[in-house]
Amino acid sequence: MLKNKVALVTGSTSGIGLAIAESLAQAGCHIMLNGFGEPSEVESLREGLSARYGVNVFHCPADVSQASEVSMMVKTAEELLGGVDILVNNAGIQHVAPVESFPAERWDSIIAVNLSSVFHGIQNVLPGMKSRGWGRIINVASIHGQVASPYKSAYVAAKHGVIGLTKTVALETAKSGITCNAICPGYVLTPLVENQIADTAKARGLSEQQVMDEVLLGAQPTGRFTDVEDLGAMAVFLCGSASRNITGSVQVMDGGYTAQ
């Protein structure tokens, strides 16, 4: 079903985004990568995906915090690949600090990347999806879209917003052949989380190992991180025929974190 579909995945030069892009490529999708990185490393990723799965893969370095660049990225994907059938809004940044000392510029940048970019991406792909009568929108939210943690005010606010936006888009597109769902991972050992460990240790006066054991894995009853490959498999499922009546949903993959 996904063979020759076109997937645009933001923040896909590493971590969760790259795993989702690879899973979709394996399922037969042509891929537009997005994200920052050393040009030679990004080119190696692009060539590797294309060679392994026999699909077309391009990269757009758009800064998704800028609405105009999101629009440009979607237009580029349409020009190079023929339209965006699948949009995965994955790009995200983080900063950890108490509310009273949370830098205003960090708040603005996190809201721009983690929430506003999701809106701009959806707004730009919907006309094409509606014209084709088929589309899949997947927003990578977080368990912090459902529950809060100290010192993450901007991130928690943005991810709650992503879930609300997901539900609204699902209702607006319910009869259009388009689905819109959110995936909410628990802790996944990605570069973003690795950086967060050091920041959280500083904010809470703990060692990094204590953060790992007590703050991160201590909150997940399974005692293990969610694997990026599992998130990729979930994304493929949400794009497939078996999930055509799943829309507006929040797919939690958190090792039991939010069951407590």
Tell whether 150 is covered by a domain.
yes
Domain count, the chain: 1
Q: Does residue 123 sit within a domain?
A: yes
Structural domain including 168 reads 6-187+227-259
Hey, CA dihedral for 94, 100, 103, 109, is it positive or negative?
Answer: positive
Q: What does the pLDDT read at residue 74?
A: 98
The answer to whether position 171 is within a domain reads yes
Q: What is the pLDDT of residue 193?
A: 77
pLDDT of residue 196: 75
In this prediction, residue 203 carries a pLDDT of 80
In angstroms, rounded to a whole number, what is the distance separating the alpha carbons of residues 201 and 204?
5
User: What's the pLDDT score for residue 202?
Assistant: 85
pLDDT averaged over 10-residue windows placed end to end, the chain, 260 residues = 96 96 98 97 98 98 98 98 98 94 98 98 98 98 96 97 98 98 92 78 88 84 91 98 97 94
Within a domain: residue 215?
no
Residue 168: per-residue pLDDT:
98
CATH assignment at residue 133: 3.40.50.720
The whole-angstrom separation of Cα 250 and Cα 238 is 11
Residue 221 forms part of a structural domain: no
Residue range 165-222, pLDDT digits in tens: 999 999 999 999 999 999 999 989 887 677 778 888 888 899 988 988 888 888 889 9
Active site residue 257: no
> Does 231 fall in a domain?
yes
Residue from 151, 155, 187, 257 carrying the catalytic annotation = 155
Q: Which CA distances in Å does 161 have to 11, 118, 209?
A: 19, 10, 31
Residue pair 151/200 in contact (Cβ under 8 Å)? The answer is yes
The per-residue pLDDT for 217 is 85
User: Is residue 71, in this structure, part of any structural domain at all?
Assistant: yes
242 within domain boundaries: yes
